[in-house]
Structure 1
Amino acid sequence: MTNSASQRFLALDALRGLAIALMILVNTPGSWSHVYPLLLHADWHGFTFADLVFPLFLFAVGAALAFSMANAQPSVGVWLKIGKRTGLLFAAGLLLHWFPFQQGVTELRIPGVLQRIALCYAMTAVLVLYLKPRSLLLITLLLPLCYWLLLWQFALQLPYQLQGNAVQRLDLWLLGPAHLYHGFGTAFDPEGLLSTLPAISSTLIGYLLAVKLKQLNTEHNSKEHSSKAPSLHFLLAGAVLLTVVGVIWHLIWPINKALWSGSYVALSSGLILWLLAAMFWCIDMQQKRWLQPLVIYGSNPLFIYILSWLWASTASQLIHINHEGHSISLYQFAFDSLNTLLEARLASLLFALLHVGLFWLLSYWLYQRRMFIKL
């Protein structure tokens, strides 16, 4: 966000930077066998710190649309722009899964993080192009409810269990098991097509929140004594409401990131608003500059995310060194070296933090040269 309107909401830029920093932190441990529980996703039902990262990024995508499409009108040019960005994001996601090109296309996982971001961006952008905020709010509420109904309608047995849920059934029918994630011990993709519906709500919440902040900011600037306190109060009220809804909804629809349950949408969005309120108070109201590194991190988020993935894949699969008579990956060698000095989980955490720092330095280098790579 570089226009004058967005500069009055540095907290949104810092939030986007936090999202990419946490993505790298969670995705790049020194060893997946030695990770603090908070940095691992919940096995199935439940919520950990790591489960906040993906909805945080989708929230940021929605918030950015409030500025990039503020004056957009339906036209061939706008449709081409949306289509181009969607295609680039989706193709980049497929290439990341394929890299380093050692598997056949018949085994390529089709859903994924960037693919979901692409779909959520596309659907949100189209909705924003044609609908007013009040209609968008209604859709934001209806999408999880319709998804909830579909889970009950098309599950083989219980709607929220791993085997036979509606998300898995649709993906198996459309894509087949070879093109899905197998990390749960079976063919089930946490970025499945059907569960993208409530993920769009997570994106729309980011958009609607940013629109409301812009509206409040315009109203306050028109007054003789402008204040940003109403914006903070709005953020806190939204945080309380969504958090409470998420906790209560969990009693009948368990919080589940893999299924992207409605309770998960509400709780994660509520926690994001708590974070945003704290950042807004620090950086927009108190003019504290210690969050500036996050603003820098958020200046090329998707490009940095892709590079971090490519680097991790390259270091773990393509670069090998001889160590004590054995050939090991550079990734493993770096972790083992840290592990000689620190306990395994601390070494794994430090490994991830060093990667967060490394890619912040790259972000800073790009930021200093005003290089903003858009996807």
Structure 2
Amino acid sequence: MDAYRGFVMFLMAAEILHYGRISEALPDSSFWRFMDHHQSHVEWFGCTLHDLIQPSFSFLVGVALPYSIASRQAKDEPFGVMFAQTLRRSLILVLLGIFLRSVGREQTNFTFEDTLTQIGLGYPFLFLLGFRSTRTVWVALAAILVGYWLAFVLYPLPGPGFSYEAVGVPADWPYHKTGIAAHFNKNSNLAWAFDTWFLNLFPRAKTFLYNGGGYATLSFIPTLGTMVLGLQAGRWLRAGLPYPDLLKRFLLAGVMGLATGWLLTITGISPSIKRIWTPGWVLFSGGWCFLLISAFYYIIDVRQWRGWAFPLVVIGMNSIAIYCLVHLIDHFIIDTFKTHLGQTVFDQFGPYEPLASGGAALLVFWLILYWMYKKKLFIRV
């Protein structure tokens, strides 16, 4: 699990390599176009490797919960104490997410679509589900997905006079859909409408009209669905099943998730859209999460091929630390290299300058985490 988490956090940190800039400098290279594509989020529909970072992180929160509950029960912690600790963790995650999104701004940026805030908002509900039966957990997942889908579908479509340009969407945007799928169009859906009310309850430099990427606060509800999938995966892991049975469950869940998410997308019932975390996206991305965890489980736990994963384990065991480092000091590290080695130190790499400067920063990140690992310093929330 630490290796999978480390892999996910490495993908996030690797944004600093800026494959897009290399692709622009080498326009004839299909390799760098491919790398750029999978280091970018899709505009609306679909999925890249980069789009799987947040679902995987959320999924792994669910995977860890059965272990956390069992550990605390072994210490005879009362439920009330555990739940109070859960609420504290949730609040810290929400505040940390807001803090990181406010860095470099003139005032606090009250936004709740960040990975940490989304997890924080849903975590208390996940914790409560952690004490319920498997049947109840699956029923809760169905209720989350169907309820969220129904809320979107029942929200009225914009009228003929609606200005998409006013909410940051070109009128000729190629991702506009009709029929049921139109209820999930960018910045004209239920989640967008909620944020135009909710986010304006907080102090802002100017009135909130829309999120440029279409991201929304209410996505924490289906994100809870992703964490619930992880909760079930964690229960299967703790159950001590023979590895063939466990792998079968993971693989079956993965294939079913991918197939169902794909079917909901092509029929237009619930298009797979990460930015508003549609039910189709929960199932599609959840399918990938099950396949990824099965791959890591087979390679590391079944085949015992562990040495290669050590760098990822170092990252995964301090996921909050790397998350904060990337958001706070990435530019500082690169600027420090330039200060002491010369402002053009990375220019000698030509079109690969982003790879060199970003790689240097990644190395510093990893060395910090390795030092923390050796000192047994692990940031926990």
Provide the TM-score with structure 1 as the length reference: 0.80
8 Å CA contact retained: 1:109, 1:179: no
Following superposition, the deviation at residue 142 of structure 1 comes to 2.2
Counterpart of 2:114 (choices 112, 115, 118) is: 112
With 202-211 and 112-121 compared, the bigger mean Cα shift is at 112-121
The answer on 1:292 being equivalent to 2:310 is yes
**Take 2:353 and 2:46, find their aligned partners in 1: how far apart are those partners?**
27
Q: Deviation per CA, 1:158-210, whole angstroms, max 9, x where unpaired?
A: 31211311110001111139989x9xx94356552222111101011111011
TM-aligned CA distance change 1:173 to 1:32, over 3 Å: farther
The answer on 1:56 being equivalent to 2:56 is yes
TM-aligned CA distance change 1:250 to 1:17, over 3 Å: same
- Provide the residue aligned with 1:357 in structure 2: 363
8 Å CA contact retained: 2:119, 2:220: no
Q: Secondary structure at the match of 1:47?
A: coil
8 Å CA contact retained: 1:190, 1:257: no
**Take 1:356 and 1:320, find their aligned partners in 2: how far apart are those partners?**
14
- Provide the residue aligned with 2:223 in structure 1: 199
The answer on 1:231 being equivalent to 2:255 is no
8 Å CA contact retained: 2:111, 2:199: no
8 Å CA contact retained: 2:333, 2:361: no
Q: Secondary structure at the match of 2:276?
A: coil
Q: Secondary structure at the match of 1:348?
A: helix
Report the AA paired with residue 124 of structure 1: L
8 Å CA contact retained: 1:110, 1:179: no
Q: Secondary structure at the match of 2:367?
A: helix
Instruction: Count how many residue pairs are aligned between Structure 1 and Structure 2.
Output: 334
- Provide the residue aligned with 1:67 in structure 2: 67
- Provide the residue aligned with 2:127 in structure 1: 125
Report the AA paired with residue 167 of structure 1: A
Counterpart of 1:92 (choices 96, 101, 112) is: 96
Report the AA paired with residue 250 of structure 2: L
Following superposition, the deviation at residue 339 of structure 1 comes to 4.9
8 Å CA contact retained: 2:314, 2:370: yes
Structure 1: segments with no counterpart, 5+ residues:
1-11, 221-227, 324-329
TM-aligned CA distance change 1:177 to 1:250, over 3 Å: farther
**Take 1:147 and 1:98, find their aligned partners in 2: how far apart are those partners?**
29
Report the AA paired with residue 374 of structure 1: R
8 Å CA contact retained: 2:257, 2:287: yes
Structure 2: segments with no counterpart, 5+ residues:
24-35, 159-181
Q: Deviation per CA, 1:303-326, whole angstroms, max 9, x where unpaired?
A: 22112211136569xx699x9xxx
Q: Deviation per CA, 1:117-171, whole angstroms, max 9, x where unpaired?
A: 2113222112224x22210111112212211111111243331211311110001
Following superposition, the deviation at residue 293 of structure 1 comes to 2.1
| CA RMSD of superposed structures (Å) | 2.9
Give the fraction of aligned pairs with identical amino acids, expressed as a percent. 24
**Take 1:85 and 1:64, find their aligned partners in 2: how far apart are those partners?**
14
Following superposition, the deviation at residue 356 of structure 1 comes to 3.5
Report the AA paired with residue 199 of structure 1: T
